[in-house]
Amino acid sequence: MPQQLPNCIPTPPWWQLMNWIADPIGFQEKCRQQYGDIFIMQLSGIGASVMIGNPQAIQEIFTQDAKFEIGRANKLAEPLLGKNSIMLMDGDRHRRERKLLMPPFHGERLQTYAQEISLITQKITSQWQIKQPFVARSTMQKISLEVILQIVFGLSEGERYQQLKPLLTSWIDMTDSPLRSSMLFLKFLQKDWGEWTPWGQMKSKQKKVHELLQAEIEEKRNHSNEKQSDILSLMMAARDENGQAMTDEELREELLTLLFAGHETTATTLAWAFYQIHQNSDILGKLLEEINSLGENPEPMAIAQLPYLTAVCNETLRMYPVLPAIFPRITKSSMNIAGYEFEPETMLIPSIYLLHYQEDLYPQPYQFKPERFLERQYSPSEYMPFGGGSRRCLGYALALLEIKLVLATVLSNYQLALVDNKHIKLQRRGFALAPQGGVKMMMTGKR
């Protein structure tokens, strides 16, 4: 008897791949209208993928995460990050790596970073001039890069810092548009024919980044100092259950993973938050009232607990998922999910976008309504900006802390305005999504 499978999109696989690269949101939206919240996409060179936006099905996936291969499904990221990236690991190796990397991202450690985040924000935004337009996403990217360099890499000055900063920015910006992102998906573009080809440039920059990181690791090892609280120092000191430390290659590749995973994602979310807050004076007013209620020089951790600010961040991450979908899950054996029988080697992709625009969970999903997060609680399979199961984003607590502190610091110091009131679309940027044009704003005064 034939196995029952979800609807399959009938257009040619090359056409679907082009749509997935050029407009992953519009493409999912159209497919959902025709085929519902579970359907099969065929991507040329990648194969069939089951897109899933149904909360029950997502819950079944999260509770059975050990039955999937997830690192193998992230193979597309290997040329960028290297084979020692946590994102590409599975099974015991993945569990070991999470244990090694997790501690600096949680609990008290996190609090020690709060002051640094606020100071970095003040330093970078102090360069704004009255009425001079700036691109919010670019400023936020400067802040989040500085946060990663300082908190994760332990670098805030010196020659290596001066070299790494522009190099990392230009390396990441190599996939800043749908067209330039296509080299991540199309293998035939991944040919290193020297500096005049995009892939050649990408590889050459990557090599220089690795050399600088290696020098930094060696210097830290030779001048080890107990007091260092940056994440690289903590990673170097961490040991697994067999007493093994991470190798230099592992350290370098994990640093790049943290940079990739944590830098653009946070900056993009901040840009969207500024966009929505400045489209609606009611939201801005409520935020200011709440932040001001803490008095002068509030404790960073008190800011992080403000309910309305938290709701604004949650709604931003709902409406503007930074990734169109979470990591793909490949079935290791036959599995029944949402009543469908999937064979081994099936790729299931829980879609953040499809889930976050479910009308019965989020009435009027195209409207920005922070209140929905004050009125009800969402379960991990109803709201998943940071994914879930065994892969839940390692840096989610740092990301949320950073987003809240940057918003509070900027809003309480400056009056800002959008340069125009145009509707801004989500656009592909590498593996992620970002606001088209980056959200143009200007500072109109100081508070």
Q: Which of 324, 395, 430, 438 binds ligand HEM (CB under 6 A)?
A: 395
CB of 61 to ligand HEM, least distance (A): 9
The answer to whether 145 and 169 have CB atoms below 8 angstroms apart is yes
Subset of 151-180 contacting ligand HEM (CB under 6 A): 152
Q: Which of 232, 394, 401, 410 binds ligand HEM (CB under 6 A)?
A: 394
In whole angstroms, give the CA distance from residue 31 to residue 37.
8
Q: Name the segment binding ligand HEM (CB under 6 A); options: 24-32, 35-43, 265-273, 339-347.
A: 265-273
Q: Which of 271, 319, 326, 410 binds ligand HEM (CB under 6 A)?
A: 326
Residue 435 is a binding residue for ligand HEM (CB under 6 A)? no
Residue 393 is a binding residue for ligand HEM (CB under 6 A)? yes
Residue 401 is a binding residue for ligand HEM (CB under 6 A)? no
Q: Name the segment binding ligand HEM (CB under 6 A); options: 11-19, 175-183, 206-214, 261-269.
A: 261-269
Residue 255 is a binding residue for ligand HEM (CB under 6 A)? no
Q: Name the segment binding ligand HEM (CB under 6 A); options: 17-25, 30-38, 200-208, 259-267.
A: 259-267
Is the four-CA dihedral 370, 374, 377, 380 of positive or negative sign? positive
Half-sphere exposure of 230 (CA within 13 A, CB side): 20
Looking at residue 103, what DSSP letter applies? G
User: In sequence order, what are the residues at sequence separation of 6 or more whose Cβ sits closer than 8 angstroms to the Cβ of residue 279?
Assistant: 368, 418, 421
The answer to whether 418 and 94 have CB atoms below 8 angstroms apart is no
CA torsion, points 184, 188, 189, 195, in degrees to nearest 10? 130
Between residues 152 and 287, which has the closer beta carbon with respect to ligand HEM? Answer: 152
CB of 143 to ligand HEM, least distance (A): 12
Residue 59 is a binding residue for ligand HEM (CB under 6 A)? no
Task: Find the angle CA(9)-CA(435)-CA(130) to the nearest 5 degrees.
Answer: 170
Q: Which of 175, 181, 269, 310 binds ligand HEM (CB under 6 A)?
A: 269
CB of 191 to ligand HEM, least distance (A): 28
Residue 278 is a binding residue for ligand HEM (CB under 6 A)? no
Residue 385 is a binding residue for ligand HEM (CB under 6 A)? yes
Element (H, E) at 114: helix 108-125
Structure token digits, residue 422: 């145009």
User: Largest Cα–Cα distance of the chain, in whole Å?
Assistant: 70
CB of 160 to ligand HEM, least distance (A): 20
Q: DSSP string of 220-281?
A: HHHT--TT--SHHHHHHH---TTSPPPPHHHHHHHHHHHHHHHHHHHHHHHHHHHHHHTT-H
Which spans of this chain sit near ligand HEM (rule: CB under 6 A)? 86-87, 98, 152, 257-258, 261-262, 265-266, 269, 322-323, 326-327, 385-389, 391-395, 398-399
